[in-house]
């Protein structure tokens, strides 16, 4: 049976979120102005913030620390890393973690996985956001899938006000380098980070090689791993989701793991889950 990606349940079409369409279109449009505001320092800011908010905030923080608890850090450091994740503009921590845990619990299920790859590339890449389903986007419904975070007043606050954190970032960037820094450090960085993160939902369930016979179509894809600081070794991750290291072979580069290993070396990370002998 052919599956229609714009059905939430048989016979119940999804509705396009026009506020989301306008928001994402606007951010992409402003990012397209970047050639007219180019400077090497602005490009450097974009690259640095892509790493800081992407690798440390999302990959290390939202994903490996909060979603899977693959290692532990002091609470003050956990909160600081979660703020970096919130600055990525990919949603609050409770929203992100709940959705990702559902993805692992029901991988590629057309109805239970928020960004099921079986609905097609564009659904898993972005349409799941533009056609939001209430069970994944309404706080009272999704928070029960991240109860450990929902019980914490700090995470509830961050989940509600993550968008407002962009204001001080924008003001700081403008003070440091004017509109060039704002366009590169916020808009261009945000667009690139969105799509590189979304590639893990889409392309790594379509293309690449499989090291493990996991119960899904997850794949290891080298170029996605480079763009996402190691997250592209997705078949490894789906086979052992609670392992802190996604790149297992010597040539599977995992920059996020390097950061976790550094934290462990200086005594800030403990109980780090390592790959089993396989």
Query: Which residue in this structure is represented by tokens 């480079």?
Result: 226
Structural domain spans, the chain: 14-88+151-265
Q: List, in sequence order, every residue forming a beta bridge with 7; answer none if it has no partner.
A: 13
The reported pLDDT for the residue numbered 174 is 98
The reported pLDDT for the residue numbered 89 is 96
**C-alpha–C-alpha distance, residues 6 and 16, integer Å:** 9
Taking the chain (278 residues) in consecutive chunks of 10 residues, what is each chunk's mean pLDDT? 55 85 97 97 98 98 98 98 98 97 94 93 95 94 97 98 96 98 98 96 95 92 97 97 95 97 97 87
The reported pLDDT for the residue numbered 277 is 74
The reported pLDDT for the residue numbered 215 is 87
The reported pLDDT for the residue numbered 8 is 61
**C-alpha–C-alpha distance, residues 159 and 140, integer Å:** 12
The reported pLDDT for the residue numbered 2 is 41
Residue 18, classified by CB atoms within 10 Å of its CB into exposed (0-12), middle (13-18) or buried (19+), is: exposed
pTM of the prediction?
Answer: 0.94
CA angle in degrees (0–180, nearest 5) for 174-180-181? 50
The reported pLDDT for the residue numbered 4 is 57
């Amino acid at each position: 049976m052919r599956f229609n990606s714009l059905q939430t349940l048989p016979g119940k079409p999804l509705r396009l979120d026009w506020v989301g369409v306008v928001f994402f279109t606007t951010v992409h449009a402003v990012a397209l102005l970047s050639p007219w505001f180019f400077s090497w320092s602005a490009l450097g800011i974009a690259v640095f913030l892509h790493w800081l908010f992407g690798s440390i905030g999302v990959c290390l923080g939202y994903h490996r620390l909060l979603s899977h608890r693959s290692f532990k850090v002091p609470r003050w450091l956990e909160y600081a890393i979660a703020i970096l994740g919130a600055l990525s503009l990919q949603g609050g921590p409770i929203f992100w973690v709940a959705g990702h845990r559902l993805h692992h619990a029901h991988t590629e299920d057309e109805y239970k996985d928020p960004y099921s790859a079986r609905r097609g590339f564009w659904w898993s890449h972005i349409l799941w956001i533009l056609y939001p389903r209430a069970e994944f986007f309404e706080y009272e419904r999704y928070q029960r899938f991240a109860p450990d975070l929902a019980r914490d007043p700090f995470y509830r606050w961050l989940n509600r006000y993550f968008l407002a954190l962009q204001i001080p970032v924008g003001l700081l960037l403008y003070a440091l380098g004017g509109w060039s820094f704002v366009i590169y450090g916020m808009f261009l960085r945000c667009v690139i980070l969105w799509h590189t993160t979304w590639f893990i939902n889409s392309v790594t369930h379509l293309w690449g090689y499989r090291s493990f016979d996991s119960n899904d179509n997850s794949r290891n894809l080298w170029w996605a791993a480079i763009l996402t600081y190691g997250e592209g070794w997705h078949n490894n991750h789906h086979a052992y989701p609670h392992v802190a290291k996604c790149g297992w072979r010597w040539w599977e580069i995992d920059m996020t793991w390097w950061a976790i290993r550094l934290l462990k070396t200086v005594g800030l990370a403990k109980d780090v889950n390592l790959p089993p002998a396989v």
